[in-house]
Amino acid sequence: MQILRGVRRRARRLAGRVRRAQQRSLQLRVVTSTLVISVTVVAVLGFFLMQQFTTTVVQGRVAAAGKDALADRTAIVGQLNEQTADPDDQGAGGSGDPRQSATDLPIDRAATALANRAGESSRYTVIIRNLTIPGAYRATNEIDPRSIPTKLEHDLRDAEPNEPIPQLTSSLYHIGDPEPQPGLVIGVRVDNGYEIFHFFPLTEEAELLSSVRQALVVVGIALVLLLAAIASLVTRQVVTPVRLARQAAERLAAGRLEERLQVRGEDDLARLAASFNEMAANLALKIHQLEELSQVQRQFVSDVSHELRTPLTTVRMAADLLYEAREGFDASAARAAELMQAQLERFESMLADLLEISRYDAGAATLDIDSVDVRNVVLRAVADSEALGEKQGTRFDLRLPSEPCMAEIDSRRVERILRNLLFNAIEHGEGKEIVVTVGADRDAVAVAVRDHGVGLRPGEENMVFDRFWRADPSRARTIGGTGLGLAISREDAMLHGGWLQAWGSPGEGSQFRLSLPRAAGSELKGSPLSLVPPEIEMRRTWRGHVTPALTAGPGDRVLDGGVS
């Protein structure tokens, strides 16, 4: 049972492997279908050919045998009739009875004549019999009376006299040979009650047919193999260039834009290669153009930011002067000076952010790595944000592990990330409690910042990291974020080889999780904290609902993929 199951399992595995191989290889598929079709065709053709041949051979033999049997019958009847001339005399005495002469009995003479006609090679054997007369039963050579088919005996009893009945049989028995042979039996009942059976062995015909069948099988197998080989060869001619094209496309996709195909001849495949090459060339050109364009844009932003700084410094100095002297102004002018001061500050920080982000775009950002305790970084960031939090009436809930969480990070950037997250949480937290959790495992550390504000709508988890994105464009920025904070944070996280992800649900608030590898440069495989806050997860499990948790799952995976 176990073995059977093992065999079945192995067979299934093999079938699966074959199916997979077939799906992968066009050539194999073509060869397989050619094999199947040609086997069918050859089998059907061979069957009909064999049948035709058998019919021809056997019919020829039957016709020849029938002629022999008919010729013999005439001879025998003549000889047997001598005996039936006076049937009353049988055994009754009288010297005139031929049975009592010194010469052979008529039946013996007839049988001997037949045996001699059949010849030494024993083309056929004969049985002459009359079961109603004692001793009137002769056979020639080794033929066994068992060879008379019972059906033929019955048929003869009912048939007209002198009407030969042929029957093909597979059992001619010969004395001294236990194996029956195939043969033909022709039986005839002649007028005086005698039955004559001719036995024609068809051994030679059977051998001929068997050798023909062997030849057919060999030729058929050879033909099928040949067809398969031809199909394989032909397919290879088509498949090889296609395979080359695929490999070239793969390399092209991997960024090697200089990849081209060799063009040989003028056929369809050559034209395919030419088109491919043309496409690759166009693609490379477009990509190059786009890259240049993007480079120009980035340069422009960087240049603009730099150029704006000098006038801004001047404006700032003038504004500071005005601001400090505001008490001497009238109320509206003072208000204007204050406003200008505030907006200038914001402008400055925006300009700083723009410069920072343009550094990222230019690939100029570098890490200043140091092994630090993440808890301290978190505490510093929280401390920086406390003032703003108090202003909004927001309370922080820190959930830090008791052991140090050491990681190789650029603490300035990580602090900036956390500060951005906390500012973001305060801005959207609607004054409710903000939970900051730190988790660590062997490979990674993570910080989650949870607010209980309006939350995020489905699909916004990624958009929050876009530059200048805002959930509700009508809403004003209360704290005065630049709109670039989260984008920079994400760039920072990626620079560390970490992830910055968001979760949010309308009415439930949102959570941002920063996951970083403990060792710089190592790949991040998972996060010690879950993206969805544990209480939400638990609630969903209790309800038996699955939807949002799992929609977060794929989102999670997409983000993972995007980062890794």
Partner 1 sequence: MTGGWRRRLLAGCVALAAVAAGSGCATIPTGSPAEFEEGVQGDPLRKPYVRMIAIPPRPEWGPAQVLEGFLAAMAAVDDPGWSVARRYLTGDAARSWRPNVRVTVYDKGVIKPPGQLPDNAREARVTLQGTRVGAINDEGKYSAELEPQGGLIQEFKLVKEPTGWRIGEVPHGLLLTEADIRRSYRKVKLYYLDSTKRGLVVDEVRVPLDPKIDFAESIVRRLLKGPTATLREAVRNALPAGTRLRGVWTEDDKVIVDLNEAAANAISSGGGDDVDAMAAQIGWTLNQLTERWEVEIRVNGDPYYASSGTPLRVGYDRYGHFDPWLTGGVRDTYVMANGALHTVGAEGKLTPVAGQAGQPGEAHIDPAVAAQGRTVAALNADGDAIEVAPLAQGGQWRRWITGENLTAPSWDRYDTVWTVARVGERSSRVYRHDGTRQVRVAAAGLETVGVQNLRVARDGVRVAAVVEDQAGVHVKVGIIMVQASGTQIVNLQTLATAADGQKIVDIAWRDATTLLVLTSSKSGQEIIAVSVTDGTSEPFKADARIDSITAFEDRIIAGVMDPEEGKSEVLYWDSKGAWVPLLKNPATSPALPLG
Nearest distance, CB of residue 135 and partner 1, angstroms: 3
Give the number of other Cβ atoms within 10 Å of residue 451's Cβ: 27
CA gap 309, 187 in Å, rounded: 126
Site stretch for partner 1 (CB under 8 A), options 136-144, 386-394, 408-416, 480-488: 136-144
Bridge partners of 129? 137, 195
Options 104, 292, 303, 390; binder of partner 1; rule CB under 8 A? 104
Site stretch for partner 1 (CB under 8 A), options 108-116, 162-170, 380-388, 459-467: 108-116
Strands 499-505 and 434-440: unpaired
- Binding of residue 178 to partner 1 (CB under 8 A): no
Site stretch for partner 1 (CB under 8 A), options 49-57, 95-103, 224-232, 312-320: 95-103
Would you say 503 and 515 are in contact if contact means Cβ atoms under 8 Å apart? no
- Binding of residue 135 to partner 1 (CB under 8 A): yes
* Amino acid identity, position 490: R
Site stretch for partner 1 (CB under 8 A), options 118-126, 272-280, 523-531, 543-551: 118-126
Residues contacting residue 95 through CB under 8 Å, at least 6 positions apart: none
CA gap 449, 385 in Å, rounded: 13
Lookup: tokens for 351: 């300009």
Total number of residues that touch partner 1 (CB under 8 A): 36
Nearest distance, CB of residue 197 and partner 1, angstroms: 12
Options 79, 140, 305, 385; binder of partner 1; rule CB under 8 A? 140
- Binding of residue 88 to partner 1 (CB under 8 A): no
Site stretch for partner 1 (CB under 8 A), options 135-143, 182-190, 224-232, 394-402: 135-143
- Binding of residue 108 to partner 1 (CB under 8 A): yes
Nearest distance, CB of residue 109 and partner 1, angstroms: 9
Site stretch for partner 1 (CB under 8 A), options 105-113, 225-233, 238-246, 325-333: 105-113
Options 1, 3, 4, 102; binder of partner 1; rule CB under 8 A? 102
Q: How far is CA 372 from CA 62, 404, 519, 530, in A?
A: 106, 9, 11, 23
Nearest distance, CB of residue 212 and partner 1, angstroms: 12
Lookup: tokens for 443: 């490979």
- Binding of residue 176 to partner 1 (CB under 8 A): yes
- Binding of residue 175 to partner 1 (CB under 8 A): yes
Options 22, 41, 70, 137; binder of partner 1; rule CB under 8 A? 137
Lookup: tokens for 175: 């004395």
Options 33, 55, 100, 162; binder of partner 1; rule CB under 8 A? 100
CA gap 114, 109 in Å, rounded: 9
The candidate with the shortest Cα–Cα distance to 471, out of 443, 509, 414, 436, is 509
Cα end-to-end span (Å), the chain: 48
Q: How far is CA 311 from CA 337, 344, 482, in A?
A: 18, 12, 20
- Binding of residue 84 to partner 1 (CB under 8 A): no
Site stretch for partner 1 (CB under 8 A), options 47-55, 94-102, 446-454, 489-497: 94-102
Applying the rule CB under 8 A, the residues between 145 and 164 that interact with partner 1 are 145
- Binding of residue 52 to partner 1 (CB under 8 A): no
Options 2, 3, 96, 103; binder of partner 1; rule CB under 8 A? 103
- Binding of residue 105 to partner 1 (CB under 8 A): yes
Burial of 307 (C-beta count, 10 Å sphere; 0-12/13-18/19+): exposed
- Give 137 or 329: the residue with its C-beta nearer to partner 1: 137
Question: What φ, ψ does residue 198 adopt, rounded to 5°?
Answer: -105, 135
3-state secondary structure of 161: coil
Bridge partners of 177? 174
- Give 116 or 162: the residue with its C-beta nearer to partner 1: 116
* Amino acid identity, position 307: E
Q: Encode 56-78: b = buried (16+ Cβ within 10 Å), e = exposed.
A: ebbeebbeebbebbeebbeebbe
- Give 118 or 377: the residue with its C-beta nearer to partner 1: 118
Question: What φ, ψ does residue 455 adopt, rounded to 5°?
Answer: 80, -175
- β strands within 359-433, DSSP E: 370-373, 396-399, 406-409
- Give 57 or 334: the residue with its C-beta nearer to partner 1: 57
- Binding of residue 129 to partner 1 (CB under 8 A): yes
Applying the rule CB under 8 A, the residues between 218 and 277 that interact with partner 1 are 267
Would you say 439 and 383 are in contact if contact means Cβ atoms under 8 Å apart? no
- Binding of residue 93 to partner 1 (CB under 8 A): yes
- Residues lying near partner 1 in the complex (CB under 8 A): 91-93, 100-105, 108, 111-112, 115-116, 118-122, 127, 129, 131-132, 134-142, 145, 175-176, 267
